[in-house]
Chains A and B, each alone.
Chain A
C-alpha cells in the first residue's frame, strides 16, 4: 500500500505518493530528478548520497523517504543560488578536490556540515570527519585542502 510523504526539498514544498520501501535517495533521484546525489554503495558506507536533513548530513541511501516526512532536505543542487557557487564548491574546484566527480556532491555536503560544526577545523579533524566518504580518485590530498579552504571561506 502506497504512502504519501510531504517535505521541503531545496526550499520547495514536495509531496509524493510512494511505495513505503522507497528510500530518500530514490525519491530525490527518481521522482524529483535531482541526480546530483549519487548512490555508490547502497549500504551507508561510501557517502556519495550525503544530503542535509534538517541541517544534518545524512546518507540518503539508508533513510526511508517516509522518515523525511515534514523535513527540510537540501541537496547539492540546493546549496547555492543558480549561477553562483557555495564557498565549499568553489574550494573543490580551486584545489582540484575532485577527479571523476562521482563522490564529490556527497563529500561537499558532508564538508559543509563539518565546517559549520567545527569553527576551527584542523587537517586531522577533516580527515576524521571524512571517514564516512570514500574517494577512489584523489587520495584525499586535495579534498582535505579543499575542505580546509572552503571552511575558511565560509567563516569569512
Chain B
C-alpha cells in the first residue's frame, strides 16, 4: 500500500543528472568519426545570388564537402512544409512560397542559409566558409509588417505580389457593426505586440548519421517533438521511408516553441550524412539562434471595445497585421488565427466579436509559436481594452471584469470555442487577497513619499490548451493529428516503464507522469521510469507544445493504464480462482472483493511473463499496453494576474515590485512543478513587457538585437519573488481533470505589467505605452504628457 502521489510536490526524478553535470544534451553526444558542419548565412536581408564560388573552400584543409541550394535541388530535396493551411476570406488557400533548406536563387533574411561546409573539425569548417565567395546583388528589403502591403513595397515572394500570405477573419461582422452603432462608449487602442526571440539557453543542435548496412539514418536533434520532426522530414522533404529514420531528442535545454519546428539545418545534416558517409554535427552559435530560430509575436493591431452605460461589453472589433517573416515556419500560419482570434472572448460574455487578420511576408526571420503562441497576443488585446475602458468610464478595474465574467458553463463564445468549465470570480477574489490590493493605496502613498510612482495592473486571462480534436482541426486546415500516444510496459518483476509521445525540455514529465502512473498503480515512484524523445523507443507522439502534455499525453497514459489494470484483473482472477468481475484493484494489489485473497501487481506481472499458471487459451502473455488519445475539446486554464510596479520618474526605470498569479489549471499533479512553470512564464511575460524586443533596421533589415548585449533578457535582479496560488476547477473531459500550465505566465503577465505602468502614469495623462516599456519609453511618455499639459 502506497500513499497517493497525485497532488504531491514530489522532488524531480530528472534533477540528479542535471545537477551533477551528466545530463545528455545533443551537443554532448559525439559519434565516432564525426565531421562538423558550419552554415554560411546571408549577411543581407534581400539579395539575388548571382554566383557562389566554392572552389577555394572545397580544397581547404580538412574539408569533406560543401553543399549549396543547387546541390539539394539536384538531389530533389524538397522545401520545408507548413503544417496548417489557412483559407482566406476570399475562399482561397494561403500563399505558400517554397522554403528551401538552403537558399536557391535569392536570400530573404539576414541569417538565411546559403551553404554548408562539412569538415573534420569545426574550425576547419569555419575557416573554409570564409573562402566561399558569394556574389550578391543586394536588393531593397521589406522589414516591417506595417508597411509590407504598401504600394511599392519590395516583394518577398513572386507568388505573393502584395506580400500577403492571407487575409482571414472570424466572427459575425454585421452583428459587431450593429452593436458598435448602439454603444454607449467605445474604447479604441492601437498597439504593437513586440517581436521576441525565444532564447532557449541551449542553442539548437543536430547530429546526423547514416548506417549503410541498414540504409538507415539516426538524427539527434534539439526537438520538442521528434515524431513530428521525422514525419515532416521523411514524408515532405527527403522522401525517405519513415521506418528508416530514427529521431532522438535527448535532454533538450528549453524550447518555448522554438524547437517545435523543422529547420533546414536538421534536414541538410540528415541528407549530408549519407553523402559524406560520416556522422555530421552542427551546434548553433548564439548569433545563429538570434538570427535563425523562429521568432515570436510581431503583431500590429487596432482594437475596439463597445460598452453599454453599465460597462457591459457589447462587441469587440480587432484588426491585426501579423508578420510571418520571410518563409512559413512549421506552424506559423495558425498562430495569429486559430490560436489568436479564438481567444478574444477572454473570460467575458462579449456577445459579438469580429477579428480580421492579415498575414504578411517580410525580409525577416520566420515567425512562429513562442510560449503562449497567439494567446498572449489575444490576452494583451482584451486586457488592455478592458482596463482602458474601465478608466475611461470611471469603473473600478476589478469591478468591470466581474460585471462581464462568464458565470455559466459550458459557454459557447462567439469565436468558436466552447469553454467547458471555469471559475473566474474565484481566481480574481483569491488574487486580490494574495496581492493585498486593499493595501495598495497605502503603498502608493508610501512610494510617493520616496519620490516613486506606483501602479497596479490586472490581467484576467484565458488560454486554450491541448488543441483538438483532430477532425475539427483538420477541417480548419491542420495537416497533422493532434492526439497523443502512451505506452505502459510492466516488467516481469513489477517495475514499469512509461513511454510517452510528449517531450520534456524542462517541464518535469519524468516526475509528473511517473506520479500519475505510480499513483494509479499503487507503486513506489522509484519503480516507474518515463521514456520520451526517441522515435526508436516511443511508439508515436505529437510532442510538446501548447501546454498539452498532461491533458493529452497524460490522458493517453491513463487510457493505457486502464488496459493494464483490466488485463491484470483477468490474470489475477485466474491466479486467485475467482470471477474476473469479483477482482478489485486497490493501490498495488488485485483483491477478490470481500475476501483476503490477493495478488500484488508484481506477482501478476510475473505471471504474465512466466505464464506457467496462466489462461493461455484466453489471454496473451505479457503486460504491455498502449493507447492513443484524441481529446474532444481544448482545455481552458484561466487565472488572474496582478502586477505592482514602481517607476523612478527621473529615469523612467520600472521595477516589478510584486507579481501575483492565481491560476486555475484544474487538477494539479505536482504543485512544485506547476508553480515553477508559472514562475518561468511570468518572467518571460515581464521580459516581453519591460525588456525584450527584436529590432531589425527598418531599411537594411539588419538584425540590431543579435547578441545578449543588445537583446535584453530578464536577469535575476529584474524580477521579484512571485506570489503564486492555484484554484482547482477540474476539466470536465479528461480523466485527470487537468488543463495544462506551461504558458499561463507568459500569457497573462504582459498585459498586467503594462496596465500597472499605465495606472502609475495615468495622472500624467498617459493612456498607453509600447512594449517593451524601457526606461526611455516611460520617461518620454511622462515628458510628452507633461508638455501637452
Contact residues in B for A45 (Cβ distance below 8 Å): 707-709
Contact residues in B for A124 (Cβ distance below 8 Å): 717
8 contacts between A and B (CB under 8 A): A35-B28, A41-B286, A43-B708, A46-B708, A92-B19, A99-B680, A137-B676, A141-B676
CB distance from A92 to the nearest CB of B (A): 5
Instruction: Report the 7 A-B pairs with minimum CB-CB distance, sorted nearest first.
Output: A36-B21, A101-B18, A102-B253, A139-B683, A100-B506, A99-B506, A76-B21
Does B190 interact with chain A (Cβ within 8 Å)?
no
How does the 8 Å CB contact mask read for A92-114 relative to B, with 1 for contact and 0 for none? 11101011111111001000000
Contact residues in A for B203 (Cβ distance below 8 Å): 39-40
Does B309 interact with chain A (Cβ within 8 Å)?
no
On whether the beta carbons of A137 and B254 are closer than 8 Å, the reply is yes
CB distance from A74 to the nearest CB of B (A): 11
Q: Identify the interface centre among B505, B507, B721: most chain A CB within 10 Å of its CB.
A: B721
With A104-B18, A137-B254 already in contact, the answer to whether A143 and B716 are too (CB < 8 A) is yes
Does B136 interact with chain A (Cβ within 8 Å)?
no
Q: Identify the interface centre among A33, A105, A137: most chain B CB within 10 Å of its CB.
A: A137
CA A41 to CA B721, docked complex, whole Å: 26
With A133-B716, A137-B680, A141-B722 already in contact, the answer to whether A43 and B19 are too (CB < 8 A) is no
CB distance from B711 to the nearest CB of A (A): 10
CA A141 to CA B677, docked complex, whole Å: 11
Does B275 interact with chain A (Cβ within 8 Å)?
no
With A34-B21, A130-B716, A133-B716 already in contact, the answer to whether A101 and B256 are too (CB < 8 A) is no
CA A41 to CA B22, docked complex, whole Å: 20
Q: Identify the interface centre among A38, A76, A85, A123: most chain B CB within 10 Å of its CB.
A: A38
Does A131 interact with chain B (Cβ within 8 Å)?
yes
On whether the beta carbons of B252 and A100 are closer than 8 Å, the reply is yes
Contact residues in A for B251 (Cβ distance below 8 Å): 100-102
**10 new A-B pairs (CB below 8 Å) besides A93-B11, A99-B676?**
A29-B27, A43-B709, A76-B21, A99-B508, A100-B506, A102-B200, A136-B684, A139-B714, A141-B719, A144-B716
> Which chain A residue has the least Cβ–Cβ distance from B22?
A36
> Which chain B residue has the least Cβ–Cβ distance from A98?
B18
Does A60 interact with chain B (Cβ within 8 Å)?
no
With A43-B708, A100-B505 already in contact, the answer to whether A134 and B713 are too (CB < 8 A) is yes
On whether the beta carbons of B506 and A137 are closer than 8 Å, the reply is yes
On whether the beta carbons of B22 and A141 are closer than 8 Å, the reply is no
> Which chain B residue has the least Cβ–Cβ distance from A77?
B21
Contact residues of A with B, CB < 8 Å?
19, 21, 29-30, 33-43, 45-46, 48, 75-77, 80, 85, 89-90, 92-94, 96, 98-105, 108, 123-124, 126-128, 130-131, 133-144
CA A138 to CA B16, docked complex, whole Å: 17
How does the 8 Å CB contact mask read for B1-26 relative to A, with 1 for contact and 0 for none? 00000000001101111111111110
With A43-B286, A139-B722 already in contact, the answer to whether A100 and B679 are too (CB < 8 A) is no
CB distance from B319 to the nearest CB of A (A): 32
> Which chain A residue has the least Cβ–Cβ distance from B290?
A41
Q: Which single member of B19, B256, B683, B716 contacts A108 (CB below 8 Å)?
A: B19
On whether the beta carbons of A136 and B716 are closer than 8 Å, the reply is no
> Which chain A residue has the least Cβ–Cβ distance from B23?
A101
Q: Which single member of A21, A48, A138 contacts B679 (CB below 8 Å)?
A: A138
> Which chain B residue has the least Cβ–Cβ distance from A46?
B201
In the complex, chain B residues 226-272 whose Cβ is within 8 Å of any chain A Cβ:
251-254, 256
Contact residues in A for B721 (Cβ distance below 8 Å): 123, 141, 144
CA A29 to CA B715, docked complex, whole Å: 26
> Which chain A residue has the least Cβ–Cβ distance from B198?
A136
Contact residues in B for A98 (Cβ distance below 8 Å): 15, 18-19
Q: Which single member of B24, B285, B717 contacts A127 (CB below 8 Å)?
A: B717
CB distance from A132 to the nearest CB of B (A): 8
CA A147 to CA B592, docked complex, whole Å: 52
CA A33 to CA B28, docked complex, whole Å: 8
CB distance from A150 to the nearest CB of B (A): 11
With A101-B506, A102-B25 already in contact, the answer to whether A142 and B679 are too (CB < 8 A) is yes
Does B304 interact with chain A (Cβ within 8 Å)?
no
CB distance from B759 to the nearest CB of A (A): 23
Q: How large is the interface on B (under 10, 10 to 19, 20 to 34, 35 or more residues)?
A: 35 or more
CB distance from A143 to the nearest CB of B (A): 7
With A39-B27, A93-B12 already in contact, the answer to whether A140 and B683 are too (CB < 8 A) is yes
> Which chain B residue has the least Cβ–Cβ distance from A106?
B201
In the complex, chain B residues 384-399 whose Cβ is within 8 Å of any chain A Cβ:
none
Q: Identify the interface centre among B20, B251, B708: most chain A CB within 10 Å of its CB.
A: B20
Does B750 interact with chain A (Cβ within 8 Å)?
no
Does B159 interact with chain A (Cβ within 8 Å)?
no
Contact residues in A for B24 (Cβ distance below 8 Å): 35
On whether the beta carbons of A138 and B676 are closer than 8 Å, the reply is yes
On whether the beta carbons of A37 and B285 are closer than 8 Å, the reply is no
Does B225 interact with chain A (Cβ within 8 Å)?
no
CA A102 to CA B286, docked complex, whole Å: 14
CB distance from A89 to the nearest CB of B (A): 4
Contact residues in B for A105 (Cβ distance below 8 Å): 18-19, 21
> Which chain A residue has the least Cβ–Cβ distance from B673?
A96
CB distance from A108 to the nearest CB of B (A): 7
On whether the beta carbons of B19 and A93 are closer than 8 Å, the reply is yes
CB distance from A3 to the nearest CB of B (A): 14
Does B174 interact with chain A (Cβ within 8 Å)?
no
> Which chain A residue has the least Cβ–Cβ distance from B505?
A100
CB distance from B601 to the nearest CB of A (A): 28
How does the 8 Å CB contact mask read for B21-56 relative to A, with 1 for contact and 0 for none? 111110110100000000000000000000000000
Does B133 interact with chain A (Cβ within 8 Å)?
no
CB distance from B708 to the nearest CB of A (A): 4
Contact residues in B for A140 (Cβ distance below 8 Å): 679, 683, 714-716, 719
CA A29 to CA B27, docked complex, whole Å: 10
With A43-B707, A101-B506 already in contact, the answer to whether A136 and B199 are too (CB < 8 A) is yes
Contact residues in B for A143 (Cβ distance below 8 Å): 716
CA A21 to CA B126, docked complex, whole Å: 13
CB distance from A35 to the nearest CB of B (A): 4
On whether the beta carbons of B15 and A35 are closer than 8 Å, the reply is no
Contact residues in A for B630 (Cβ distance below 8 Å): none
